[in-house]
């Protein structure tokens, strides 16, 4: 499964408005308010925020990957946002976050969820990839950067 199989241009916010970690997470979750794949958006919100309480998903290098699993989605859904302002995400490296990838897995799809988290993390570890995302101005540009980067990867099943 590829990231571009689950994220679409309409699931990308090129200029997040939120100023706190919770604001940003809620802004990304709200993308799915009218999405047929999400059966209960408040259960999605609860799953993500509960996971965040366990340990920050600010993994470092200006990137966070809030995620969770719930039976409130019909399939894995994802959203991405970029902030032009530094966000305190309580990141592991204590640096502010600018890039946020939200991943919501289905309770019974643990394997694909973990593989997607791994793939996202590997991509985000590349300095040039993060720099390209930061330079992008539109959701379309961001989506194309994800597509281009994924074309450099072999298919992970």
Catalytic residues: 67
Beta bridge partners of 106: 70
- CA–CA separation, 98 vs 81, rounded Å? 8
1 three-state secondary structure: coil
Burial (0-12, 13-18, 19+ Cβ within 10 Å), 101? buried
Confidence (pLDDT) at 81: 97
Confidence (pLDDT) at 157: 42
Alpha helices in 7-109 (DSSP H): 21-29, 41-54
Q: Is 157 within the bounds of a domain?
A: no
Query: What is the CATH number for 24?
Result: 3.40.930.10
Task: Tell whether the torsion through CA atoms of 106, 109, 114 and 117 is positive or negative.
Answer: negative
Q: How far is CA 20 from CA 4, 24, 27, 82, 86, in A?
A: 27, 6, 10, 13, 9
Q: Is 134 within the bounds of a domain?
A: yes
- CA–CA separation, 144 vs 24, rounded Å? 22
Q: Is 135 within the bounds of a domain?
A: yes
Q: Is 75 within the bounds of a domain?
A: yes
Q: Is 113 within the bounds of a domain?
A: yes
- pLDDT, averaged in runs of 10, over the chain (157 residues): 87 96 96 94 95 89 94 94 94 94 84 80 90 96 93 59
Q: Is 72 within the bounds of a domain?
A: yes
Confidence (pLDDT) at 93: 92
Confidence (pLDDT) at 19: 93
Number of independent structural domains in the chain: 1
Q: Is 156 within the bounds of a domain?
A: no
Confidence (pLDDT) at 82: 97
- CA–CA separation, 157 vs 142, rounded Å? 24
Domain of 114 in residue numbering reads as: 3-151
Q: Is 115 within the bounds of a domain?
A: yes
- What pTM was computed for the model? 0.91
């Amino acid at each position: 499964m590829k990231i571009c199989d689950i994220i679409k241009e309409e699931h990308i916010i090129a200029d997040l408005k939120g100023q706190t970690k919770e604001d940003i997470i809620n802004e990304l979750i709200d993308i799915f308010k009218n999405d047929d794949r999400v059966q209960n958006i408040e259960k999605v919100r609860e799953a993500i925020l509960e996971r965040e309480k366990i340990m920050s998903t600010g993994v470092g290098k200006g990137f966070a990957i809030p995620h969770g699993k719930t039976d409130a989605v019909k399939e894995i859904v994802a959203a991405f946002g970029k902030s032009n302002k530094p966000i305190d995400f309580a990141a592991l490296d204590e640096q502010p976050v600018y890039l946020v990838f939200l991943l919501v897995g289905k309770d019974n799809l643990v394997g694909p969820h973990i593989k997607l988290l791994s793939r996202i993390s590997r991509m985000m570890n590349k300095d040039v990839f993060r720099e390209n995302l930061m330079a992008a101005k539109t959701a379309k540009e961001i989506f194309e950067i994800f597509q281009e980067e994924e074309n450099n990867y072999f298919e992970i099943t």
